């Protein structure tokens, strides 16, 4: 009996030891797990520290740049007065960011605007968004309206402030209009809408196009591309209908612009070519049979055409475009219009069937198109409106 008890006691102690050994093993595993978690957290903290350090350095550089910019602002007023040599000073407030510069279509368009205003006799500056608050006692400030808000500086008592609206018409308020001496819009429908909410002069000036750059080919040859589309997707965050419908219906299209890789990097029908410089657009259009076009909903609602509309036609090729009543009334012999996917697919078939007729109509209307969208004529109208807007303001 004594031996049996001792054996049982030894077995009991051995079992207890095994339990304690298992507990020890579990503790070790737990410690290892905690250590691994802590290592991951430490690595994450290191990465966060690197990211924060990079962000701090970026903010420090931006702050230095901003202080340097403000120092330049202080000197710019006197420098501009000297360089203007007595000419009236006109500042174009461009909605593009300075870091994008000439890569931005907005800036490229403002640069053309600058050239024609200079031909009209002004000394012209372009202020990108970062320099919008720079004050130089300009005679005229022209805001190219976009998605960024600009507040005129009325401390410059002799400055005339002008807003030209050629996009984002839905963002305009009566309070914003009241800050200006003159408002111009590229849509007659939008003009009438604005006249209902303000007593500031609202005038119609069409979307202007540089006819020195956008014109038909003198020696028509076999086009390099059949159907082309130029436009970014980055502001929309979803595929634009006309391109989505091409993809869904097996219609081939060549696309230039930013943001498309996310949707059509490996598409059989949507062929991506990346971004394109504004200066290269005319030659691209002249090397295409026809172009697609579309507008933001607010532009369709106000019948405000985008810059692609006249650029394509002035380059001598027909177009498939989303519908408004005035677009079809004025350009229905050169452009096929759609309101939905079914109509779009029909337009693409009709383009092939009626191509020669539509192309001939585009060429037949070149003189009319140049007259309607010509930059030189448009700038002359702008200049007359700017010169007279002070008199109208006093009359009110």
Residue 393 pLDDT level (bands cut at 50, 70, 90): very low
Rounded average pLDDT over 223-234: 92
Cβ contact 296:159 at 8 Å = no
Cβ contact 134:166 at 8 Å = no
Residue 46 pLDDT level (bands cut at 50, 70, 90): confident
Residue 362 pLDDT level (bands cut at 50, 70, 90): very high
Rounded Cα distance between 187 and 167, Å, is 10
Residue 384 pLDDT level (bands cut at 50, 70, 90): very high
Cβ contact 272:264 at 8 Å = yes
Smallest Cα–Cα separation from 335: which of 290, 282, 284, 302?
Answer: 290
pLDDT tops 50 at residue 335: yes
The pLDDT tens digits for 165-219 are: 999 998 899 999 999 999 999 999 999 999 999 999 999 999 999 999 999 998 7
Q: What is the pLDDT of residue 222?
A: 87
pLDDT tops 60 at residue 394: no
SS3 260: coil
Rounded average pLDDT over 330-341: 98
Q: What is the pLDDT of residue 13?
A: 64
Residue 275, C-beta contacts closer than 8 angstroms, at least 6 positions apart: 103, 232, 256, 257, 258
Q: What is the pLDDT of residue 15?
A: 63
Considering the chain, what is the average pLDDT of its residues? Answer: 89
Rounded Cα distance between 82 and 67, Å, is 24
To the nearest whole percent, how much of the chain has pLDDT over 90? 69
The answer to which of 88-92, 176-180, 220-224, 376-380 has the lowest mean pLDDT is: 220-224
Q: What is the pLDDT of residue 101?
A: 60
Q: Which residues of 164-189 are buried (b: 16+ CB within 10 A; e: fewer)?
A: bbbbbbeebeeebbeebbbbbbbbeb
Residue 153 pLDDT level (bands cut at 50, 70, 90): very high
Residue 58 pLDDT level (bands cut at 50, 70, 90): confident
DSSP string of 179-244, one letter each residue: T-SEEEES-HHHHHHHHTT--S-EEE-PPPB-TTTS---SS----SEEEEEE--STTTSS--HHHH
Q: What is the pLDDT of residue 146?
A: 86
Rounded average pLDDT over 82-97: 95
pLDDT tops 90 at residue 334: yes
Smallest Cα–Cα separation from 193: which of 166, 173, 163, 167?
Answer: 173
Q: What is the pLDDT of residue 64?
A: 62
Rounded Cα distance between 1 and 328, Å, is 112
Rounded Cα distance between 193 and 279, Å, is 34
The answer to which of 90-104, 219-233, 310-324, 332-346 has the lowest mean pLDDT is: 90-104
How far is C-alpha 214 from the geometric centre of its chain's CA atoms? 20
Lookup result for tokens 């077995």: 11
How far is C-alpha 146 from the geometric centre of its chain's CA atoms? 9
Query: In degrees to the nearest 10, what's the CA dihedral of 201, 206, 209, 212?
Result: -90
pLDDT tops 50 at residue 10: yes
Cβ contact 139:89 at 8 Å = yes
Q: What is the pLDDT of residue 365?
A: 98
The pLDDT tens digits for 244-262 are: 999 999 999 999 998 999 8
Q: What is the pLDDT of residue 38?
A: 83
């Amino acid at each position: 009996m004594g031996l049996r008890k001792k054996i049982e006691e030894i077995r009991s102690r051995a079992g207890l030891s095994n339990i304690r050994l298992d507990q020890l093993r579990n503790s070790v595993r737990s410690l290892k797990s905690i250590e691994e978690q802590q290592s991951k957290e430490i690595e994450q903290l290191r990465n966060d520290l690197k990211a924060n350090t990079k962000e701090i350095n970026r903010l420090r550089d931006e702050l230095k740049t901003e202080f340097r910019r403000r120092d330049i602002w202080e000197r710019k007023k006197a420098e501009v007065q000297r360089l203007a040599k007595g000419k009236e000073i006109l500042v174009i407030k461009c909605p593009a960011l300075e870091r994008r510069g000439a890569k931005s279509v907005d800036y490229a368009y403002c640069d053309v605007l600058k050239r024609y205003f200079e031909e009209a006799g002004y000394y012209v500056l372009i202020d990108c968004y970062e320099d919008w608050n720079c004050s130089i006692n300009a005679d005229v400030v022209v805001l190219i309206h976009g998605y960024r808000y600009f507040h005129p500086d009325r401390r410059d008592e002799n400055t005339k402030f002008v807003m030209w609206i050629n996009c984002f018409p839905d963002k305009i308020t009566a309070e914003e209009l009241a800050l200006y001496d003159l408002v111009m819009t590229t849509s007659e429908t939008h003009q009438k809408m604005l006249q209902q909410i303000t007593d500031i002069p609202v005038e119609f000036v069409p979307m202007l196009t540089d006819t020195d750059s956008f014109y038909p080919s003198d020696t028509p040859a076999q086009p390099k591309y059949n159907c082309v589309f130029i436009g970014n997707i980055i502001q929309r965050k979803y595929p634009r209908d006309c391109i989505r419908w091409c993809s869904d219906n097996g219609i081939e299209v060549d696309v230039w612009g930013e943001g498309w890789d996310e949707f059509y990097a490996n598409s059989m029908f949507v062929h991506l070519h990346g971004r394109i410089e504004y200066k290269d657009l005319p030659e691209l259009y002249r090397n295409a049979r026809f172009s697609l076009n579309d507008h933001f909903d607010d532009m369709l609602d106000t019948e405000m055409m985008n810059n692609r509309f006249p650029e394509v036609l002035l380059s001598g090729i027909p177009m498939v475009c989303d519908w408004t009543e005035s677009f079809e009334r004025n350009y229905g012999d050169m452009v096929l219009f759609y309101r939905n996917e079914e109509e779009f697919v029909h337009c693409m078939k009709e383009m092939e069937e009626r191509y020669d007729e539509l192309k001939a109509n585009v060429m037949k209307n070149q003189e009319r198109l140049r007259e309607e969208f010509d930059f030189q004529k448009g700038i002359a109208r702008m200049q007359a409106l700017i010169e007279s807007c002070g008199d109208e303001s006093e009359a009110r």
